[in-house]
Structure 1
Amino acid sequence: MRSSSRTAAFALCTAVTASLLAGCGTTGSGGGGADIGADDTTPVTITFWHAFTSDRETAAVNQALALFHQKYPYITVNSVKGQTDDKINQAIRGGTAPDVAASFNAGNVGGWCSSGAFQDLGPDITADHVDLSGIPAAVQDYTAFQGKRCTMPWLADTFGLYYNKKLFAAAGITNPPRTMSELAEDAKKLTAFNPDGSIRTAGFMPYFGGYEMLTEHLVPSWGGHWLTPDGQSNTAKDPAFAQALTWQKNLVDWFGAAKLKTFKTSMATEQSAQNAFETGSLAMMVDGEWRTAFIKGDNADVDYGTAPMPAADDQPKLYGAGYVGGNVMGIPKGAKHPGAAWKLLKFLTTDTDALVTLANQVGNVPTTLPALESPKLTLTEDPHFQPFLDVFKNPNTTTTPAAPDGGAYVTNFEPFAEKWQDGQVPDLKAGLAQVDQQNNAALKLGQ
């Protein structure tokens, strides 16, 4: 899995999700017949779509499916890789939906739940007495919408700080920063410029859009909440947003926005073996837990450490927390075998061995607390990975909650943040109020 936020771009928003029900196939068995695989052992084949594509990832999925088949030998799963949200939505509209669909993009959950494009899992959860208390609150937030749970979490991305130990030692820095002031100070110590004034080594990338330096990964350090309890945009009312942007802009100004933009352009693509952190030209960065697997797979010559993202200076209780997002899985409207589909969905998202098997192979955080505590979770043997497991479990860890606009309240913030860092926003408070106004219009349209 890659980033659950921006690198797996928000797909088809309000207009599409609102129209998904038009032209959908029937629910249940698809023809009014028996729900094969629900309460009997009649052999049945179901279709499962997921977005994984690499040989390593699909092999891991197949291992988890093999465990499922051992438990339910009468259910055969036709697993189809590389399926996007666009394809899922098109299949739902065309009446050819798979029985189970998994997505990298939790941003679409609000639209899927509110439109009925994904079926309500509540009755099945209640009937099978599925205990959701083993899923952290932040994870429950991005997999349900307005009390309706139409998806379950299936592995998570958790974000933290990566730092280059060799560069730290050369700069006389002994420990990773715990506060945002320390992060800024360390970034300056670690930065080196070329004779012409351009950046040779960046201590940190504060410029939005530089790899995983995104607003949703920064704001949790101040405890920000994107939406109010009643689902309205909250960026102007919550002081965390202005505080986070002010910190960010001060560091951008120290570097020089033009210099950072040039440096950002010179950075190799994020998933490349020439990633700027892996080659040593970026001393610290915010990134997801999957980077540990990439560094190992790329045979990168970098001596590094990982830690939680620093917290705002006046909120030390937030140190150890961070941002979490991840894969989601549901039963689309029109699924021909919803009973068997529920068995597969419940197994893949709640069975400890299935989650641990997939997490170990893919390198993502398993999404239940029992899986995190499993002795079979070999990820715990890697000291680089442990901080992400701790962040995931932290009760102060937050997410971008599901919304009917397909997550547009976050993507709408991006162009404003870009103007802000380039000095094109004269009044931050007024600008945030305008963002809220735009977001609220999108949120209302998506309802």
Structure 2
Amino acid sequence: MFIHRHSFTVRHSPVVPARAHGRRLAAFVLAPILALAAAGCSAGGSNSPAKADVGADDTTPVTITFWHGLSSAHEVAAVNAVLAKFHQKYPYITVQAVSGQTDDKVNQAIRGGTAPDVASSFNAANVGGWCASGAFQDLSADIAADHVDMSQIPQAVQSYTAFDGKRCTMPWLADTFGLYYNKKLFAAAGITAPPKTMTELAQDAKKLTVFNPDGSIKTAGFMPYLGTYQMVTEHLVTSWGGKWLKPDGTSNVASDPAFAAALTWQKNLVDWFGAGKLAKFKAGMGDEMSAQNAFETGNVAMMVDGEWRTAFIKNDKSDVDYGTAPMPVADDKPELYGSGYVGGNVIGIPKGSKHPAAAWKLVKFLTTDTDAVASFADAIGNVPTTIAALDSPALTLAQDPDFATFLEVFKNPATSTTPASPDGGAYLTDFGPFAEKWQNGQVPDLKAGLAGVDKQNDAALKLSQ
């Protein structure tokens, strides 16, 4: 789970994720992106278009730097393995990979003129800001010169890697979200199949919940408290088909009834548990990316999560007996069942890259070479972002029915993502404090509150232009 991971581990706001590889996303920081835009990305270093790999180009030995956010041992090993394949194809290019890097560090390096040659991010929400400001170089000329077939990348994935006609990043695996459920706890509660509607999800959550004698939560059937692992608004509102932005790029949360419906459902379940009890239970949950994850230990019976969790459960040697399914959908939106939310890791060439030609070779290899994409996805348990890689024999995880669920969600034409915006996805960050107040009973008028979020979002949009 890059985006986990690859979108969207909550690391910057109590209720919204930071990615896409939607998972361990780096903390979202709007100010650095706006600063880059205001400064015109005046950091030192070349900003000329990368030289396309058209065959007879320079093979002078060169060393390039590559910053990425992956940090767990098995994921870092997987990165090194795919980079070894790259070096085998381009023996004159040596890649110095630096793990555990955040978007904030990348932004600082760009401003300071010390940007890496290539950088990846869990947070696709930042793509709009990077493209609009020039912080990441437009790859369109390279793509055209090398005749890269962009149709091999699904449209939903293409949409979060470009903005306003500029493709300043490419997708580097995707995170697709669905429902994980504990089969043992389901059987004990007499539940025979995973829920398909949000009403069924709420009913099952109540059946599966066990309270301690003092009234505190022992086992949560489902954690509706926003900010708990991958339980974030963008993963929730998808079940109602919500659209964050209008066609003109302005905020849509008050106009789209999906947001009020999703939050009303969520608050009703929070109230059934008790917000205070949920907050206390959340505080005692193990770290999301560790073997103490509450689902892996059996303390949470159902949760929304990305495909990467299948690999984590295996690597953590958890004995949880689990299954996966698409996320339940609104009762009046049965046509959405089977779809879900997709986000992903993105990769590009920052302004100031000292070796843009070699950098483009690496970006193209990691994102379009079928074996590289499929084998890397297989190694870290992510969804490939090219059609060819989805059908590659190197993707052995496709034979795992629990992982295959996410491949089917990824392919579903109704699967959606959060759109890019020039303010770096400020509409997501702005929604966080509001959702926190909402679930704790501090928003007396939901409609008026959502209208206020729209005003805040639109103000941030104007500031970025």
Query: Shorter-chain TM-score: what band?
Result: over 0.9
1:37 shift after superposition: 9.3
The match for 1:151 among 147, 169, 175 is 169
Which residue is 1:230 aligned to? 248
Which residue is 1:47 aligned to? 65
Rounded Cα–Cα distance in structure 2 between residues aligned with 1:214 and 1:34: 39
Which residue is 2:271 aligned to? 253
The match for 1:411 among 409, 416, 429 is 429
Cα deviations by residue, 1:90-134 (Å, 9 ceiling, x for unpaired): 222222222211112212111110001111111111122211122
1:430 equivalenced with 2:465 (yes/no): no
The match for 1:264 among 257, 279, 282 is 282
Rounded Cα–Cα distance in structure 2 between residues aligned with 1:233 and 1:86: 25
Which residue is 1:76 aligned to? 94
1:218 shift after superposition: 0.2
1:444 shift after superposition: 1.4
1:435 shift after superposition: 0.3
1:15 equivalenced with 2:34 (yes/no): yes
1:245 shift after superposition: 0.6
> What SS does the corresponding residue of 2:352 show, helix, strand or coil?
coil
Which residue is 1:320 aligned to? 338
Aligned residues: 446
> What SS does the corresponding residue of 1:388 show, helix, strand or coil?
helix
Q: CA RMSD in A?
A: 2.2
Which residue is 1:127 aligned to? 145
Q: Map of 1:340-355 to 2, 5 A cutoff?
A: 340-355=358-373
1:28 shift after superposition: 5.4
Rounded Cα–Cα distance in structure 2 between residues aligned with 1:73 and 1:285: 45
Q: Check whether the contact 1:49–1:98 (CA below 8 A) recurs between aligned residues.
A: yes
Amino acid at match of 1:96: T
1:100 equivalenced with 2:118 (yes/no): yes
Which residue is 2:212 aligned to? 194
Instruction: Flag structure 2 segments of 5+ consecutive residues without an equivalent.
Output: 9-16, 18-23
Q: Check whether the contact 1:37–1:44 (CA below 8 A) recurs between aligned residues.
A: no
1:20 shift after superposition: 5.4
Q: Check whether the contact 2:251–2:427 (CA below 8 A) recurs between aligned residues.
A: yes
Which residue is 2:328 aligned to? 310
Distance 1:74 1:372, change over 3 A: same
Amino acid at match of 1:78: Q
Rounded Cα–Cα distance in structure 1 between residues aligned with 2:229 and 2:297: 14
Rounded Cα–Cα distance in structure 1 between residues aligned with 2:86 and 2:444: 57
The match for 2:348 among 315, 323, 330 is 330
Cα deviations by residue, 1:159-205 (Å, 9 ceiling, x for unpaired): 11010101111111111011111111111111122222222211111
1:27 equivalenced with 2:67 (yes/no): no
Distance 1:20 1:286, change over 3 A: farther
Q: Check whether the contact 1:37–1:337 (CA below 8 A) recurs between aligned residues.
A: no
Which residue is 2:14 aligned to? none
Distance 1:111 1:446, change over 3 A: same
Q: Check whether the contact 1:276–1:282 (CA below 8 A) recurs between aligned residues.
A: yes
Rounded Cα–Cα distance in structure 1 between residues aligned with 2:267 and 2:323: 26
Q: Check whether the contact 1:37–1:339 (CA below 8 A) recurs between aligned residues.
A: no
Rounded Cα–Cα distance in structure 2 between residues aligned with 1:22 and 1:358: 32
Rounded Cα–Cα distance in structure 2 between residues aligned with 1:262 and 1:211: 15
Q: Which segment drifts farther, 380-389 or 265-274? A: 265-274
Rounded Cα–Cα distance in structure 2 between residues aligned with 1:58 and 1:298: 16
Which residue is 1:109 aligned to? 127
Amino acid at match of 2:208: L
Amino acid at match of 1:24: A
Q: Which segment drifts farther, 8-17 or 349-358? A: 8-17
Amino acid at match of 1:18: A
Q: Check whether the contact 1:331–1:342 (CA below 8 A) recurs between aligned residues.
A: yes
> What SS does the corresponding residue of 2:164 show, helix, strand or coil?
coil
Distance 1:435 1:18, change over 3 A: same
Rounded Cα–Cα distance in structure 1 between residues aligned with 2:36 and 2:397: 37
1:71 shift after superposition: 2.2
- Which TM-score applies when normalising by structure 1? 0.95
Amino acid at match of 1:124: D
Distance 1:29 1:218, change over 3 A: closer
Amino acid at match of 1:264: K
Distance 1:256 1:62, change over 3 A: same
Q: Map of 1:377-416 to 2, 5 A cutoff?
A: 377-416=395-434
Q: Map of 1:269-280 to 2, 5 A cutoff?
A: 269-280=287-298
1:349 shift after superposition: 0.5
Amino acid at match of 2:319: D
Instruction: Flag structure 1 segments of 5+ consecutive residues without an equivalent.
Output: none
1:168 equivalenced with 2:186 (yes/no): yes
Q: Check whether the contact 1:178–1:311 (CA below 8 A) recurs between aligned residues.
A: yes
1:219 equivalenced with 2:237 (yes/no): yes
Distance 1:51 1:333, change over 3 A: same
Which residue is 1:362 aligned to? 380
